[in-house]
A and B are shown apart, each in its own frame.
Chain A
Amino acid sequence: MPFKLDGARTVPSVCPYCAVGCGLLVHVRDGRILNIEGDPASPINEGTVCPKGAAAFQLAVNPNRLTKLLYRPPRARAWEERPLDWAMDRIARLVRETRERTFVRESGGMPVHRTTAIASIGGAVFDNEENYLLVKLMRGLGLVGIENQARV
């Protein structure tokens, strides 16, 4: 009987849960994740993981996971599936319209370039590059309400 990981590619990764930052190894075959386990090379965990890190596989490979974009129109009782592109267009339009309606260019003779009508919440579970780009766009649009649970 072949071993479960025969022919699998090993990709080093990082635990997505807490800030200890344990190293993980992701085993992949045919574009699918077969297994995730602690990375013995990491000086932080040396291959060990806690129950959450040990469940990282099921976080990714899980029938309960969302894989379709869901949209709920005003006052509707249920979700509807919509195409991703449609949703992106619609979100862009809402951002644009809300911003246009509420943008303050100047206040008391000072350029302030802001809208307080749109807020962005989140950031502590995704990558640095994503945080940076999100903040760049949001500040670029004039948002001042940019927050996440990193508030310490």
Chain B
Amino acid sequence: MPGLGASLGRGGATTYMQDLVNADAILIMGSNMAEAHPVAFRFVMMARERGAEVIHVDPRFTRTSACASFYAPIRPGTDIAFLGGLIRYVLERGLFREYVEAYTNAGFMVRQDGQQLERGPDGRPVRVGVDHPESVLSVLRRHYAGYTPERVSEVCGTPVADFLRVAEALVRASGRERTACICYAVGWTQHTYGVQNIRAAAILQLLLGNVGRPGGGILALRGHANIQGATDLASLYHVLPGYLPAPREAPEHATQAAYLARETKRAGLWSGLPRYLASLLTAWYGRPDAYDLLPKSDRDRSFQAILEAMDAGEVKGCLVIGQNPAAGAPNAAFARGALRKLEWLVIRDYYELETAAVWKEEGGGTPEECATEVFLMPAAMAAEKAGSLTNTMRLVQWHEKAVEPPGDARSELWFVHQLARRLRDVVPHLRWEYPEDARGEPDARAVLREINGFRVADGSGLEAPADLAGDGSTACGSWIHAGIFPAPDRLRAAARSAGGPEDAGWAWSWPMNRRMLYNRASVDPESGQPWSERKAWRGEVPDGSAEHPFVMLEDGVAQLFAPGLADGPLPRHYEPVESPVRDNVLEATRENPRYRRFAPHGNPLAEPADPRWPFVLTTYRLTEHHLTGVMTRWLPWLAELMPELFCEISPELAEERGIRNGDRVVVATPRGEVRAKALVTLRLRPFRLGARTVHAVGLPWHFGYKGLVRGDVVNDLSAMVADPNVSIQETKAFVCDVRKA
């Protein structure tokens, strides 16, 4: 999550869920928390019972809105305009000046080009004070000067009074004595400016002094049981475990020395990169200088780029493990076509999912024409294997094996290990020593010991990242996990004592079991005492120093101004790539000039304000289903609760198109069409943008052509466009038409 990483240092939630009860206000935006993260929402309800104001800003009135103190509508995809308006408001009326001066780069000088900070010969930033005309804070003021409540309202369709109510509530709930928290989910990230959405939230929270303090922070609500862990351990093309940049084919990454010269930071925890890399190489290849053996990426190899390369015939074989691109990929029909071009496809899952059936007629294939060799392998579930999952607050929780998996079902650990054994001669350099049981299942504990790290000489476990060495005397799979399993009898992810400060005895969170990141920002640097008694942090593991509470960042302070992102150091409002709005009244360019588009031949896009696709479409989740439904639509209990695809529209839109509640409707985009049952509801309201009206349409995306209950694949509608920093797709705002079927 580079939005958080670039602003604060670490790509993870800054706090733990239980801390929500300490908040004086909670802003939920880009998330329908009550329905998508129901059990986490109970902390929001507890906070409200204690008097916190709960604010929901969302295109739809959902159960989250119903439980909130107040709700403000927003047109899908305009969150940066809204947040920019809040930033402007806070700069005028709510700035926590002492916090900002001490703990952010507000007082550093911006270079003339507006893209970088001015730095002295020693690499340190030039401090000019927050009131200097070229300071970060002054640049920020000018940048958002045009984001007035009226303009925000015109762009977002939020009534001015509602916008001001949100702004006032946040300011009221921030300062020395009070704190506010922000919760978000994929409603913020799945945009062609997804990273900058999160950046805008971070800027806002920093200006209010709400990071690193009880009841404050930014709680990223992640989707899958181990999506945080998969990110931490680098199941992503652009990173190695622990967020080390993956090497690219480029002169600055040609050798280990060049890579380290380029990527090691002057100060902060990233100054330790040589030790982290050496220990990772020792864990993988048995020596600290094995950089040459790491594959170097030639270009974007992210998810959509893989599908594009598959369609072009470059990708010939694919392993799909616990994912369902045939229904979950943007422009899923394109993905299915690409999958049918593979020479071989290995799928590991619990049920026969859409991806396994792409070659069948129901998946749009003609079996006789599809030459793909397909393996569908039954997988073991959590209760059938030992291992750990990392939840949305970086908490790593261990689970024991309760029973053997049925039949041919096996764990992923088994699969990888058995594959590695058969390919031993292909990768002789790979260090691969894991004890296995009678079934050939490797010991998950041994793997976690390697992730934790150990001393090569005697196998003793590392206690902390500080123990990592650069000379090959330590091996460590992921430096941020050092300390999770330091000794055979100290599997800290399995710890089960709740209660006490921060519930720190329940499982283990990276880094170093810190529950609240950046917590040293909770003190007044003048006195060294908490900003207030009411908001004193009482946890156990301090983060950073009073001078440098943002230890991951080179300058030790949080980055209001964050150089290095593809689309600029400060967030700007852009329209979604597909939008019914032709002009951008806030910025010079309409859409993100750096957005990525894939497979143009198979991925047509609507023109700006294209009259054929007049409505905004947003997709979302329901409580009863999960993702594309592989884990829910095969279960009678859940299938019965939510059996059918529906489409939410407002009474006004229904009337315009002659649709009645319960009618069958067709939702169409330039990529495809789906059929659904119309749900005409006041939960969706038309947005008034100045003089004109824009309608929104909502579709849950859980259905597909397999399972006990089936429905059209909603991702057949979405487009293959992406954020320039992380290549995440834009499925929360695009355009469509709706008509009676």
Contact = CB atoms under 8 A, between A and B. Distances in A.
A75 to B, nearest CB: 5
Dominant secondary structure at the A interface: mixed
B430 A136 contact: yes
Interface in A114-150: 114-137, 139-150
A66 B306 contact: no
Given A16-B631, A129-B444, A148-B235, A72 B408 contact: no
Contact of A60 (B378, B384, B416): B384
B309 interface: yes
Contact of A129 (B231, B320, B387, B404): B387
Contacts of A99: 426
A75 B369 contact: yes
Contacts of A58: 635-638
B138 interface: no
Contacts of A41: 496, 498
A141 to B, nearest CB: 6
A33 B451 CA distance: 30
Interface string B379-393: 101111101111111
A119 B240 CA distance: 16
A100 B633 CA distance: 40
A135 to B, nearest CB: 5
A69 B321 contact: no
A88 B319 CA distance: 13
A80 to B, nearest CB: 11
B487 interface: no
B302 A19 contact: no
B323 A124 contact: yes
A67 B371 CA distance: 25
A118 B367 contact: no
B373 interface: yes
A13 B398 CA distance: 7
Contacts of B379: 66, 126
B391 A20 contact: yes
A137 B432 CA distance: 9
Interface string B285-329: 000000011111110011101100110001111111111010010
B88 interface: no
A132 to B, nearest CB: 5
B226 interface: yes
Given A67-B408, A119-B319, A147-B236, A43 B229 contact: no
A123 B726 CA distance: 17
Interface in A19-36: 19-23, 26, 28, 31-33, 36
Contacts of A87: 375, 377
A132 B408 contact: no
A21 B297 contact: no
Interface in A55-97: 55-56, 58-60, 62, 64-77, 79, 84, 87-92, 94-96
Given A66-B378, A122-B323, A125-B226, A55 B39 contact: no
Residue picked from B220, B314, B641, most chain A C-beta under 10 Å: B314
A127 B408 contact: no
Given A18-B224, A19-B223, A124-B225, A12 B413 contact: no
Interface string B718-733: 0000000011110000
B447 A108 contact: no
A92 B419 CA distance: 6
Nearest to A77: B367
B189 interface: yes
Contact of B17 (A20, A102, A118, A122): A20
Contact of A23 (B397, B407, B726, B728): B397
A151 B404 CA distance: 32
B352 interface: yes
Interface string B1-21: 100000000000000011000
Given A26-B402, A66-B376, A94-B317, A124 B396 contact: no
Interface in B392-435: 392-393, 395-397, 399-404, 406-413, 415-420, 422-423, 426-427, 429-430
Interface in B81-125: none
A88 to B, nearest CB: 5
A72 B358 CA distance: 11
B406 to A, nearest CB: 5
Contacts of B372: 72, 74
Interface stretch (B66-74, B160-168, B343-351, B667-675): B343-351
A32 B230 contact: no
Nearest to A100: B426
A132 B240 CA distance: 10
Contacts of A12: 399-400, 496
Contact of B451 (A92, A111, A132, A134): A132
B411 A130 contact: yes
B319 A120 contact: yes
Contacts of B223: 18-19, 124, 149
Given A72-B359, A118-B316, A132-B447, A124 B226 contact: yes
Contacts of A22: 39
Nearest to B42: A48
Contacts of B1: 152
A65 B323 contact: no
Contact of B376 (A64, A79, A143): A79
A141 B368 CA distance: 32
Contact of B631 (A51, A59, A92): A59
A5 interface: no
A21 B388 CA distance: 11
A145 B237 contact: yes
Contact of A144 (B221, B301, B410, B429): B301
Residue picked from A31, A117, A142, A144, most chain B C-beta under 10 Å: A144
B503 A113 contact: no
Contact of A121 (B18, B39, B306, B412): B306
B230 A145 contact: no
Contact of A94 (B221, B234, B344): B344
B413 A127 contact: yes
22 contacts: A14-B399, A16-B225, A16-B382, A16-B631, A19-B222, A19-B224, A56-B383, A60-B381, A66-B351, A114-B295, A123-B321, A125-B323, A128-B451, A129-B444, A134-B412, A139-B240, A139-B295, A144-B295, A146-B237, A150-B222, A152-B194, A152-B222
Give the top 5 A-B pairs by smallest Cβ distance, nearest first. A21-B391, A127-B387, A67-B407, A123-B235, A122-B321
Given A9-B402, A127-B389, A129-B451, 13 more contacts: A16-B381, A16-B382, A19-B227, A55-B638, A69-B375, A113-B296, A121-B306, A123-B323, A127-B444, A137-B430, A147-B235, A148-B323, A152-B728
